[in-house]
Amino acid sequence: MLTDLFSLEGRTALVTGGSRGIGKMIAAGFIAQGAKVYISSRKPGACDEAAAELSKDGGVCISLPQDVSTVEGVQSLAGRLTDLEPKLDILVNNAGAAWGAEFEEFPESGWDKVMNLNLKSPFFLTQALHGALKAAGSAERPAKVINIASIDGIRLNPMETYSYHASKSGLIYLTKRLAARLIRDHINVTAIAPGAFASEMNRAARDMGDEVARRIPSRRIGRDEDMAAAAIYLASRAGDYVVGETIAVDGGVALASLAPGPS
């Protein structure tokens, strides 16, 4: 039924970094479409508070706080999730970090922190939850893995965020590699590349939204529903035939060099 294309009724999802920003936008969208959603974040208090807020209107959101910046943390989260759920329909690898510093001073710590959380952890969490995702997937209703990349993985921004650029471009290609392997297990892997959304990571969009909007072809920053809609599309029946692709949700920024200037 076309009316059910975007429904997530009966589906179970895990969203890392789900207590704020883009992760919270996605979790809220999934819950509105009927999914049972587990959210994870590094800070237990923030994770519990966000889960309570997202559940207040009758939805089901469960807090599973965990630092996923290490393989040990990833495996702990996967173990706790599978103790509660025999299968997992949707995994959103959203937890991430950024680091900016001039080339001559860019530290190893800034490289390792960002690469570990943004690129290494999505791979190993997907690996750790492979069994649960495989148990949920079928040819008619595949399980979904959605990696949250960035338009900074598609085009350069002016800032010296070396490890962030590298990690997000790497995540886009990792999405393709994972998709090629996991489709045989009825698990579809895709990615979203967000542009400017107000968040703790993107403080410019959060604090200077009007100024940032002037540099965006659509002339506005992203809204919560923009991010939720893209994730719902990929997670739902509507996106079942999309495999290995990355959707830019950026108001046209990645194409800005081809777009006409302000009129």
pTM for the model stands at: 0.93
Q: What is the CATH T-level fold of the domain 2-251, as seen in this structure?
A: Rossmann fold (3.40.50)
Catalytically annotated residues: 164
Does position 216 have pLDDT exceeding 60, yes or no? yes
pLDDT of residue 260: 47
Q: Other CB atoms closer than 10 Å to residue 245's CB: what's the count?
A: 16
**Averaged pLDDT of the chain:** 92
Does position 233 have pLDDT exceeding 50, yes or no? yes
pLDDT tens per residue across span 4-26: 999 999 999 999 999 999 999 99
Share of the chain above pLDDT 90, in %: 80
pLDDT tens per residue across span 51-66: 999 999 889 999 999 9
H or E, element range at 41: none
Name the token pair of 107.
């530290």
One-letter amino acid for residue 19 of the chain: S
Name the token pair of 192.
């979203």
pLDDT tens per residue across span 168-215: 999 999 999 999 999 999 999 999 999 888 766 665 555 555 666 777
- Break the chain into its structural domains and give their ranges: 2-251
Does position 262 have pLDDT exceeding 50, yes or no? no
